[in-house]
Structure 1
């Protein structure tokens, strides 16, 4: 009996991990292209080819729920029909598509409410598992419809409440900007280091609360050091591409591991609060859009350079805040939590990349 209970618990745990990993992978795949080229494209403003590339990479972001749905299906080794049904349910309830008039016109914008996307990923996947053998020869006709209407319908009903919750969180983060500068920097650095590896959208919250100036700079610095810390601690068990994806792409690739092993938040929070305070002392600035990216696509450092006072902020300062100090802090966190305290193992940060 004990063995059966243990087996069931392990099965449920693996199911949860697979869905989290699939959603994380979809997020990284769809947000990385824009992050990598967005700042570079600014140098070619008005160029026809650059405009087309910008259009494509922006549109890719709106496919987040679709790609995440298929990624979940792939990791769970489901059929194409099963994966497609999950993806459709996630897409229609993500908030990516909005109605603009009573005539039925719709517009596609943004990447959706990630927390709601994750909720529907669980609902749709459970429904697919329950019905995968129920429709027989009519599966290709009925399962996408049933899963989309039921799971997607529930997702549509939860979209506004969950969006409101995300706004509340954004309001709470904005209160930190009214604190003393150094304390504010530490709080925002830690807060955004948490947000970047959570189901919440760090970019969405930063833009929702209009986080700008040194608050944005502190948030950027916190995300940057968190990405370097996670990359360094897991480098032993992850491929080079996966390691680089933490800071060139997004540390959200570690979302599943972070949520299942909360102890991983300790070193990232400690490093991020320290780095946020340092960025405030250096008067590093940013914009609401850049606040949620960190080092990704060089958006954080390039925006910091263009937004900050050139009389006091030099390239050397930018390199110190976004490269040198984060790497040093990441090395310190790895030594403290992996070598000295042995609280964290490299295996805790192993990625599932399929």
Structure 2
């Protein structure tokens, strides 16, 4: 068998394709965490220093880097594939121009937001495939031609798919919005479960919440659903992940588990069950939120602090927030871990192992 035939078979091997997709998802997830965690860590703390010049600068920096998500994710994908700086940079550039973080206006280009994650992942797959297929084709002209080639082809396709995939997110948002027509407790359970799914999917939980103007107890349910999903994933993977990776699930974003969740759908069972339970409880306790806070969960303490403010900043409100955002999520997380990992042995710790390199 010739070397060429072997290479073709290797590239089309289902296991190789599956690992290729997993690597791209892991790199994208890592980029999301790297760019979003700094802002999540300090967002609420900076509110205490409103008007302070240093706090304003820190806020500017942590907000700006969120728009660098596509570029950082592109380099993270390159690192996982052990690609060169030129290869990684080419992927990052294609992802950046087609992510939706830049808007072209008559007065110039405006940078803002994190982009459409679904499109970012699609372009990451296309750009990485192009890079892998053309690693040696340009020879000594690689530095000149490959960034342009990947940018025009993968980035160009991404610009075409950007609006359709943005509309997909809006359609899914309208489906989620239908849950608000249900009875309060059922609504809370459904919304919590839905957002527990969204936060680890290629879709933006915050974007969906903003699109449907989710507020009140619906917003509160969405946040507690994300929170308990974060604690559940952290608890189940704690034995195989470093402390920083474990904390990143709820301090930052549980989207760090996106690759594992999408390739092992069984992981959605414990998070969905726990989220539905917490959503019903949070509705009974009248936990509320705003369209902006919905979709963040525990990240940056945005969900808990918003719920506390919406409840009037009373002692009882503080107690309810601690119970709903800390005590019960930890209890449910440990319960789900016992049920799915010890009792029925459906999930292994290795199923939640993170790729952090």
Normalised-by-shorter TM-score class: over 0.9
TM-score (norm 1): 0.96
2:117 aligned to which of 114, 118, 121: 114
The answer (yes or no) to whether the contact 1:177–1:215 under 8 Å persists in 2 is: yes
Residues of 1 paired with 2:130 and 2:238: CA distance?
A: 36
2:349 aligned to which of 346, 349, 352: 346
Residues of 2 paired with 1:114 and 1:61: CA distance?
A: 12
Deviation of the 1:8 alpha carbon? 2.2
Residues of 1 paired with 2:316 and 2:225: CA distance?
A: 19
Residues of 1 paired with 2:127 and 2:232: CA distance?
A: 34
Residues of 1 paired with 2:311 and 2:156: CA distance?
A: 46
**What's 2:42 paired with?**
37
**What's 2:233 paired with?**
230
Residues of 1 paired with 2:58 and 2:10: CA distance?
A: 52
Return closer, same or farther for 1:335/1:6 CA change in 2, 3 Å cut-off. farther
**What's 1:167 paired with?**
170
Gaps of 5+ in 2: none
**What's 1:307 paired with?**
310
**What's 1:267 paired with?**
270
Residues of 2 paired with 1:276 and 1:29: CA distance?
A: 29
| RMSD of aligned residue pairs (Cα, Å) | 1.6
1:318 aligned to which of 300, 306, 321: 321
**What's 2:249 paired with?**
246
Return closer, same or farther for 1:159/1:131 CA change in 2, 3 Å cut-off. same
Residues of 1 paired with 2:12 and 2:338: CA distance?
A: 35
Instruction: Give CA-to-partner distance per residue, 1:179-205, whole Å, 9 cap, x none.
Output: 111111001100000000001011111
The answer (yes or no) to whether the contact 2:78–2:87 under 8 Å persists in 1 is: yes
1:208 aligned to which of 206, 211, 215: 211
The answer (yes or no) to whether the contact 2:11–2:17 under 8 Å persists in 1 is: no
Instruction: Give CA-to-partner distance per residue, 1:202-228, whole Å, 9 cap, x none.
Output: 111111111111111000000000000
Secondary structure of 2:19's partner?
A: helix
How many residues are treated as equivalent by the alignment?
Answer: 351
Secondary structure of 1:171's partner?
A: helix
Residues of 2 paired with 1:133 and 1:79: CA distance?
A: 12
Deviation of the 1:9 alpha carbon? 2.5
Deviation of the 1:10 alpha carbon? 2.2
Residues of 2 paired with 1:335 and 1:5: CA distance?
A: 40
Mapped pair 1:57 → 2:42:
no
**What's 2:130 paired with?**
127
The answer (yes or no) to whether the contact 1:305–1:313 under 8 Å persists in 2 is: no
Deviation of the 1:14 alpha carbon? 1.4
After the TM superposition, which residues 63-142 of structure 1 pair with which residues of structure 2 at under 5 Å, given as runs?
63-101=68-106, 105-142=108-145
Structure 1 segments, 4+ long, off by >6 Å, are 3-7
The answer (yes or no) to whether the contact 1:285–1:307 under 8 Å persists in 2 is: yes
Deviates more, 1:305-314 or 1:331-340: 305-314
